[in-house]
C-alpha cells in the first residue's frame, strides 16, 4: 500500500500517548511482573527466529530490538506499559499478520460504535442502540477527523483499534467529527464495561455455570459469523459471508441453490478472512477448472495453493464480488483470483492489503499463577499468479464504488443496489441495506 504515513513506530506513538490518559486498568509493576513480561518477549522472539517467513526478519536487528524491549520493560511503571512494549517490538516488522496477543483481562469493553475506512477517510458506520455513543450524539455518516488526537488512516486505524480496545483499553474516547452536513463537533464517549470473573472454573464443581457460559459465548460467535443468503428471484442470489469458515459440503449446498439463478453476488465486505481450506472450497464452487491461487512462500520453499473445481456442480452463471477496506486475507485472495481468472466483476472499495499466512502460538508465563498470552506469526507470504503479493497493496476493484456519508446516515447500501442492477434486478439502496441487518454481539 502506498503512502502509509507513520507506519513504522506509530503503534509506539499511540502507546506513549495512552500513558497520559486514564486507562480501565493499570496495575503497578512488581519484579515478578517484569520478569514475566521479559519472559513473554523472549518466548515470542524464539518462535519468530524459528518460524518467521523471512529468515532475515525483514532486515530488522531483531536481537537488538529484543534487548531494547527488555530494557524498556525494566523502566515501565505498569504491567500495561510493559505489555505495550512487547507489542511495539513486533510492530517494527510491518507485517499485518504478526502481532502480540496480550493476556485476557477480567472485563469486557463495549465502545458502542464501529469505525471503517471508506476510501481514504474514516467514518462512523454503526452506533449501538442505548449506548453512551448514541447518547452523546455519535451517528453513522460522521467522518472521524481525529480519535484521541490522531487522524485515522488506512495504515493506522487498525493499530488504533488494537491499542485502544485490546492493549490499553481507554476509559474514554475523544472524537473530532464532521457531520454529513459539514458541521464539526467534538464528542467524548465512555465505553460500557462488563466485569468478568478473574478465575473461571472448568471442572464443573460450580454446577457447570462457567462451562455453560463459555458454550453460550461460542454459540453467539457462531451465530454472529454465520453465512446468510437471499434468493431474490431466478435472476439473482446474494451470499453474505462474514468469515471464511465453512466446509466443502456447506459450499456444495450453497452452490446447489446458486445454480438456480443467473447471477450470484458474493458479499465479502467486512470479511477478515479465515481458513485456507474454506478459500479453496469457495473458489472450487465458482470455477469450472482447477486453478492455482498462488505460491505460499516460506523460509524453506514455495508451495502452490490449488483450488479444485466442483466441476458440473460449480456455479457457472454471472459472478459479482463485493469488497471494502475491511475485506482482508482470504477474502482478498478470492476477489483477486476472480479478477485474474476473468471469472467475474469485483465492486466496492480497495481491500485491506492484509494478506499473509500466519500461525497462532500460545504461551504461559509464571509457575504458581499462570498468565496465558499468545502471538500471531507469519510463516508465509502469498505470491499470486501475476507474480505480486497483495500485502500492503490490497485488491483494487474493477469498479470502485462506496457509500456516501449521507448513505451511511440514511441506512442505504448503494453498492449492493448497483450490483443487483448489473444482474438486471431492481433493488433500492434502502432495501439492499435491509437484506442482511447488522446484529450487535450479545453480552
Please write the tens of the pLDDT for every residue from 328-385: 999 999 999 999 999 999 999 999 999 999 999 999 887 666 788 999 999 999 999 9
At residue 81, does pLDDT exceed 90?
no
Domain boundaries, the chain: 26-101, 107-195, 227-355+390-434
Band of pLDDT at residue 3, cut at 50, 70 and 90: very low
**Number of Cα atoms under 13 Å in the Cβ half of residue 299:** 15
Q: With beta carbons less than 8 A apart as the criterion, state whether 23 and 109 touch.
A: no
Q: What is the mean pLDDT of residues 287-303?
A: 95
**Which of 32, 69, 75 is CA-nearest to residue 371?**
32
Give the C-alpha separation, 263 to 277, whole Å: 24
At residue 44, does pLDDT exceed 60?
yes
Give per-residue pLDDT as tens, 211-240: 455 555 655 666 667 889 999 999 999 999
Architecture category of domain 227-355+390-434 in CATH = Alpha-Beta Complex (3.90)
Question: Could you tell me the pTM of the whole model?
Answer: 0.88
- pLDDT reported for residue 78: 86
Give the C-alpha separation, 266 to 256, whole Å: 15
Band of pLDDT at residue 100, cut at 50, 70 and 90: very high
Band of pLDDT at residue 107, cut at 50, 70 and 90: low
CATH of 107-195, one of 3.20.20.70, 1.10.760.10, 1.10.1040.10, 2.30.42.10: 2.30.42.10
**Number of Cα atoms under 13 Å in the Cβ half of residue 195:** 2
Q: How many percent of the chain have pLDDT more than 90?
A: 72
- Region of 141 please: left (phi>0), alpha (psi -120 to 50) or beta: left
Amino acid at each position: 500500500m502506498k503512502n502509509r504515513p507513520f507506519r513504522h513506530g506509530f503503534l509506539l506513538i499511540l502507546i506513549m500517548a495512552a500513558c497520559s490518559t486514564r486507562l480501565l486498568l493499570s496495575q503497578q509493576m512488581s519484579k515478578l511482573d517484569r520478569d514475566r513480561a521479559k519472559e513473554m518477549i523472549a518466548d515470542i522472539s524464539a518462535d519468530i527466529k524459528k518460524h518467521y517467513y523471512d529468515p532475515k526478519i525483514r532486515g530488522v536487528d531483531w536481537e537488538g530490538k529484543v534487548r531494547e524491549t527488555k530494557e524498556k520493560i525494566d523502566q515501565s511503571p505498569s504491567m500495561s506499559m510493559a505489555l505495550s512494549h512487547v507489542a511495539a517490538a513486533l510492530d517494527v516488522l510491518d507485517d499485518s499478520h504478526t502481532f502480540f496477543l496480550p493476556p485476557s483481562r477480567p472485563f469486557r469493553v463495549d465502545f458502542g460504535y464501529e469505525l471503517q475506512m471508506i476510501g481514504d477517510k474514516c467514518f462512523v458506520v454503526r452506533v449501538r442502540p442505548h449506548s453512551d455513543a448514541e447518547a452523546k450524539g455519535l451517528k453513522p455518516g460522521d467522518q472521524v477527523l481525529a480519535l484521541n488526537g490522531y487522524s485515522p488512516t488506512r495504515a493506522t486505524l487498525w493499530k488504533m483499534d488494537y491499542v485502544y480496545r485490546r492493549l490499553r483499553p481507554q476509559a474514554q474516547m475523544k472524537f473530532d467529527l464532521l457531520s454529513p452536513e459539514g458541521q464539526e463537533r467534538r464528542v467524548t464517549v465512555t465505553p460500557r464495561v462488563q466485569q468478568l470473573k478473574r478465575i473461571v472454573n472448568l471442572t464443573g464443581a460450580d454446577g457447570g455455570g462457567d462451562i455453560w457460559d463459555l458454550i453460550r459465548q461460542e454459540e453467539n460467535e457462531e451465530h454472529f459469523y454465520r453465512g446468510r443468503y437471499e434468493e431474490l428471484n431466478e435472476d439473482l442470489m446474494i451470499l453474505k459471508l462474514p468469515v471464511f469458515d465453512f466446509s466443502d459440503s456447506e459450499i456444495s449446498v450453497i452452490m446447489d441453490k446458486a445454480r438456480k439463478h443467473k447471477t450470484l453476488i458474493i458479499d465479502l465486505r467486512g470479511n477478515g478472512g479465515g481458513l485456507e481450506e474454506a478459500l479453496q472450497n469457495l473458489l472450487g464452487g465458482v470455477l469450472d477448472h482447477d486453478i492455482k491461487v498462488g505460491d505460499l512462500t516460506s523460509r524453506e520453499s514455495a508451495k502452490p495453493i490449488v483450488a479444485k473445481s466442483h466441476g458440473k456442480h460449480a456455479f457457472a452463471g454471472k459472478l459479482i464480488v463485493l469488497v471494502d477496506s475491511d475485506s482482508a486475507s482470504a477474502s482478498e485472495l478470492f476477489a483477486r483470483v476472480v479478477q485474474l481468472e476473468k471469472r467475474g466483476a469485483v465492486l466496492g472499495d480497495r481491500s485491506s492489503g492484509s494478506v499473509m499466512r500466519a500461525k497462532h502460538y500460545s504461551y504461559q508465563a509464571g509457575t504458581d499463577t499462570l498468565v496465558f498470552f499468545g502471538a500471531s506469526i507469519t510463516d508465509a507470504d502469498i505470491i499470486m499468479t501475476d507474480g505480486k503479493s497483495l500485502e500492503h497493496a490490497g485488491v483494487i476493484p474493477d469498479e470502485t464504488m462506496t457509500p456516501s456519508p449521507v448513505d451511511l446516515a440514511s441506512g442505504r447500501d448503494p453498492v449492493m443496489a448497483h450490483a443487483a442492477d448489473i444482474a438486471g434486478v431492481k433493488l433500492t439502496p434502502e432495501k439492499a441495506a435491509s437484506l442482511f441487518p447488522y446484529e450487535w454481539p450479545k453480552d
